[in-house]
Protein backbone atom coordinates (compact mmCIF):
# COMPACT_ATOMS: atom_id res chain seq x y z
CA UNK A 1 0.00 0.00 0.00
CA UNK A 2 1.35 3.43 -0.93
CA UNK A 3 1.79 6.20 1.61
CA UNK A 4 -0.90 8.22 -0.20
CA UNK A 5 -3.42 5.36 -0.03
CA UNK A 6 -2.58 4.81 3.65
CA UNK A 7 -3.10 8.49 4.33
CA UNK A 8 -6.50 8.44 2.60
CA UNK A 9 -7.53 5.36 4.61
CA UNK A 10 -6.47 6.72 7.98
CA UNK A 11 -6.89 10.39 7.36
CA UNK A 12 -4.10 12.91 7.69
CA UNK A 13 -4.98 13.58 11.31
CA UNK A 14 -4.75 9.87 12.07
CA UNK A 15 -1.31 9.72 10.50
CA UNK A 16 -0.25 12.75 12.50
CA UNK A 17 -1.37 11.08 15.72
CA UNK A 18 0.45 7.88 14.74
CA UNK A 19 3.65 9.81 14.01
CA UNK A 20 3.34 11.75 17.26
CA UNK A 21 2.81 8.52 19.21
CA UNK A 22 5.89 6.99 17.59
CA UNK A 23 8.05 9.72 19.03
CA UNK A 24 6.49 10.06 22.48
CA UNK A 25 9.36 9.84 24.99
CA UNK A 26 9.38 6.83 27.28
CA UNK A 27 7.93 7.23 30.75
CA UNK A 28 10.92 7.82 33.07
CA UNK A 29 9.03 6.08 35.90
CA UNK A 30 8.65 2.82 33.95
CA UNK A 31 11.20 0.63 32.21
CA UNK A 32 9.69 -1.85 29.77
CA UNK A 33 11.07 -4.26 27.19
CA UNK A 34 8.95 -6.32 24.82
CA UNK A 35 9.69 -9.53 22.99
CA UNK A 36 11.18 -8.69 19.60
CA UNK A 37 13.56 -9.96 16.96
CA UNK A 38 17.17 -10.14 18.10
CA UNK A 39 20.31 -11.63 16.64
CA UNK A 40 19.85 -14.69 18.85
CA UNK A 41 16.24 -15.30 17.79
CA UNK A 42 17.04 -14.82 14.09
CA UNK A 43 19.99 -17.21 14.36
CA UNK A 44 17.88 -19.83 16.15
CA UNK A 45 15.16 -19.56 13.49
CA UNK A 46 17.74 -19.98 10.71
CA UNK A 47 19.25 -23.08 12.35
CA UNK A 48 15.85 -24.70 12.92
CA UNK A 49 14.79 -23.93 9.35
CA UNK A 50 17.95 -25.50 7.93
CA UNK A 51 17.32 -28.75 9.82
CA UNK A 52 13.71 -28.83 8.65
CA UNK A 53 14.86 -28.41 5.04
CA UNK A 54 17.46 -31.13 5.50
CA UNK A 55 14.81 -33.51 6.85
CA UNK A 56 12.59 -32.77 3.84
CA UNK A 57 15.34 -33.04 1.25
CA UNK A 58 17.31 -36.01 2.65
CA UNK A 59 15.45 -38.78 0.84
CA UNK A 60 18.03 -41.36 1.90
CA UNK A 61 17.30 -40.71 5.58
CA UNK A 62 14.89 -43.17 7.22
CA UNK A 63 11.34 -41.85 7.09
CA UNK A 64 10.77 -41.98 10.86
CA UNK A 65 13.97 -40.05 11.49
CA UNK A 66 13.01 -37.45 8.88
CA UNK A 67 9.61 -36.99 10.50
CA UNK A 68 11.15 -36.72 13.97
CA UNK A 69 13.75 -34.15 12.88
CA UNK A 70 11.18 -32.11 10.98
CA UNK A 71 8.77 -32.17 13.94
CA UNK A 72 11.36 -31.19 16.56
CA UNK A 73 12.99 -28.41 14.59
CA UNK A 74 9.69 -27.31 13.07
CA UNK A 75 8.36 -26.78 16.59
CA UNK A 76 11.55 -24.88 17.43
CA UNK A 77 11.09 -22.66 14.36
CA UNK A 78 7.48 -21.98 15.36
CA UNK A 79 8.56 -20.86 18.83
CA UNK A 80 11.36 -18.74 17.33
CA UNK A 81 8.70 -16.86 15.37
CA UNK A 82 5.81 -16.71 17.83
CA UNK A 83 7.79 -15.27 20.75
CA UNK A 84 9.21 -12.11 19.08
CA UNK A 85 6.11 -11.70 16.92
CA UNK A 86 3.86 -11.62 20.01
CA UNK A 87 5.31 -8.27 21.15
CA UNK A 88 4.27 -9.17 24.69
CA UNK A 89 5.93 -7.48 27.64
CA UNK A 90 9.11 -9.38 28.45
CA UNK A 91 10.26 -7.16 31.32
CA UNK A 92 8.61 -4.28 33.15
CA UNK A 93 9.90 -2.39 36.15
CA UNK A 94 7.64 0.15 37.82
CA UNK A 95 6.29 1.20 41.20
CA UNK A 96 4.67 -2.23 41.68
CA UNK A 97 7.88 -4.21 41.32
CA UNK A 98 9.52 -6.31 38.61
CA UNK A 99 7.37 -8.13 36.07
CA UNK A 100 8.94 -11.01 34.14
CA UNK A 101 6.87 -11.82 31.06
CA UNK A 102 5.98 -15.43 30.43
CA UNK A 103 5.74 -17.77 27.48
CA UNK A 104 3.44 -16.11 24.88
CA UNK A 105 1.56 -19.42 24.48
CA UNK A 106 0.70 -19.41 28.20
CA UNK A 107 1.44 -15.80 28.99
CA UNK A 108 -0.87 -15.16 31.94
CA UNK A 109 0.01 -18.41 33.67
CA UNK A 110 3.78 -18.01 33.35
CA UNK A 111 4.19 -14.26 33.93
CA UNK A 112 5.64 -13.44 37.35
CA UNK A 113 5.32 -10.17 39.25
CA UNK A 114 7.79 -9.75 42.09
CA UNK A 115 6.76 -6.86 44.40
CA UNK A 116 9.53 -4.67 45.72
CA UNK A 117 9.29 -5.99 49.28
CA UNK A 118 10.24 -9.44 47.92
CA UNK A 119 13.10 -8.28 45.70
CA UNK A 120 16.48 -8.92 47.28
CA UNK A 121 18.87 -8.87 44.31
CA UNK A 122 18.85 -8.75 40.52
CA UNK A 123 21.39 -10.87 38.67
CA UNK A 124 22.53 -10.42 35.08
CA UNK A 125 24.52 -13.41 33.88
CA UNK A 126 25.31 -15.57 30.89
CA UNK A 127 24.99 -19.24 30.14
CA UNK A 128 28.60 -19.69 29.05
CA UNK A 129 29.35 -17.37 26.11
CA UNK A 130 25.78 -17.57 24.80
CA UNK A 131 22.39 -16.49 26.09
CA UNK A 132 22.18 -13.73 28.67
CA UNK A 133 19.84 -14.17 31.64
CA UNK A 134 18.13 -11.93 34.15
CA UNK A 135 17.18 -13.38 37.53
CA UNK A 136 15.35 -11.80 40.45
CA UNK A 137 16.47 -13.16 43.81
CA UNK A 138 13.57 -13.06 46.26
CA UNK A 139 13.71 -12.71 50.02
CA UNK A 140 13.84 -15.97 52.04
CA UNK A 141 10.34 -15.39 53.45
CA UNK A 142 8.70 -14.93 50.03
CA UNK A 143 5.83 -17.32 49.31
CA UNK A 144 6.37 -20.14 46.78
CA UNK A 145 5.82 -19.40 43.11
CA UNK A 146 3.95 -22.67 42.51
CA UNK A 147 0.89 -23.71 44.55
CA UNK A 148 2.72 -26.22 46.75
CA UNK A 149 6.27 -24.99 46.25
CA UNK A 150 7.34 -28.06 44.29
CA UNK A 151 6.52 -26.92 40.75
CA UNK A 152 8.97 -26.08 37.98
CA UNK A 153 8.88 -22.37 38.85
CA UNK A 154 10.38 -23.12 42.28
CA UNK A 155 13.17 -25.32 40.96
CA UNK A 156 16.69 -23.89 41.32
CA UNK A 157 17.79 -22.06 38.19
CA UNK A 158 20.74 -24.46 38.13
CA UNK A 159 18.33 -26.54 36.04
CA UNK A 160 18.78 -24.01 33.22
CA UNK A 161 22.55 -24.12 33.00
CA UNK A 162 24.26 -26.93 34.92
CA UNK A 163 27.66 -26.01 33.47
CA UNK A 164 28.68 -23.40 34.33
CA UNK A 165 26.56 -23.06 37.43
CA UNK A 166 24.23 -20.13 37.90
CA UNK A 167 25.63 -17.34 40.07
CA UNK A 168 23.53 -18.08 43.16
CA UNK A 169 21.83 -21.30 44.40
CA UNK A 170 18.85 -19.24 45.60
CA UNK A 171 17.79 -18.22 42.08
CA UNK A 172 14.65 -19.92 40.79
CA UNK A 173 13.44 -20.88 37.32
CA UNK A 174 10.21 -18.89 37.74
CA UNK A 175 12.04 -15.62 38.32
CA UNK A 176 14.71 -16.20 35.67
CA UNK A 177 14.38 -15.28 32.01
CA UNK A 178 16.69 -15.98 29.10
CA UNK A 179 17.03 -12.96 26.83
CA UNK A 180 16.86 -14.79 23.50
CA UNK A 181 14.05 -12.56 22.21
CA UNK A 182 14.66 -9.30 24.07
CA UNK A 183 17.55 -7.33 25.49
CA UNK A 184 17.95 -4.76 28.22
CA UNK A 185 19.61 -1.42 28.72
CA UNK A 186 21.82 -1.98 31.77
CA UNK A 187 21.99 1.72 32.64
CA UNK A 188 18.22 2.22 32.53
CA UNK A 189 17.72 -0.96 34.51
CA UNK A 190 20.04 0.29 37.25
CA UNK A 191 18.47 3.75 37.30
CA UNK A 192 14.88 2.54 37.60
CA UNK A 193 15.72 0.00 40.31
CA UNK A 194 17.62 2.68 42.24
CA UNK A 195 14.54 4.89 42.05
CA UNK A 196 12.16 2.36 43.59
CA UNK A 197 14.44 0.10 45.64
CA UNK A 198 17.83 1.72 46.26
CA UNK A 199 18.87 -1.07 48.62
CA UNK A 200 18.41 -3.75 45.95
CA UNK A 201 21.71 -5.32 44.92
CA UNK A 202 22.41 -5.54 41.17
CA UNK A 203 24.96 -8.20 40.28
CA UNK A 204 26.11 -7.84 36.68
CA UNK A 205 28.18 -10.83 35.61
CA UNK A 206 28.09 -10.05 31.90
Classified as helix, coil or strand, 134 is strand
Instruction: Note every long-range contact of 70-74, with CB atoms under 8 Å and residues 24 or more positions apart, other chains counting.
Output: 73/47, 73/48, 73/49, 74/48
pTM over 0.75: yes
Q: Identify whether 14 is part of a domain.
A: no
pLDDT at residue 26 greater than cutoff 80:
no
Q: Identify whether 119 is part of a domain.
A: yes
Confidence of residue 156 (pLDDT cuts 50, 70, 90): confident
pLDDT confidence of residue 198: 95
Q: Identify whether 70 is part of a domain.
A: no
Q: Identify whether 105 is part of a domain.
A: yes
Query: How many domains in the chain?
Result: 1
pLDDT at residue 13 greater than cutoff 60:
no
pLDDT confidence of residue 176: 94
Q: Identify whether 161 is part of a domain.
A: yes
Distance from C-alpha of 200 to C-alpha of 166, rounded to nearest angstrom: 19
Q: Identify whether 31 is part of a domain.
A: no
Q: Identify whether 39 is part of a domain.
A: no
pLDDT confidence of residue 10: 40
Structural domain containing residue 182:
96-204
Q: Identify whether 192 is part of a domain.
A: yes
DSSP state at residue 174: G
DSSP state at residue 188: H
Confidence of residue 162 (pLDDT cuts 50, 70, 90): low
Amino acid sequence: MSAFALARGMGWRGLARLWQHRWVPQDPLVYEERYRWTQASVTALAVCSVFVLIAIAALTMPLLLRVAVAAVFGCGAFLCVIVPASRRVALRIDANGITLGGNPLRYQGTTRVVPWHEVQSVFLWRRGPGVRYISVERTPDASPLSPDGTGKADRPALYLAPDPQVPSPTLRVGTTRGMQAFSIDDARLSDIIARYAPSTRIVNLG
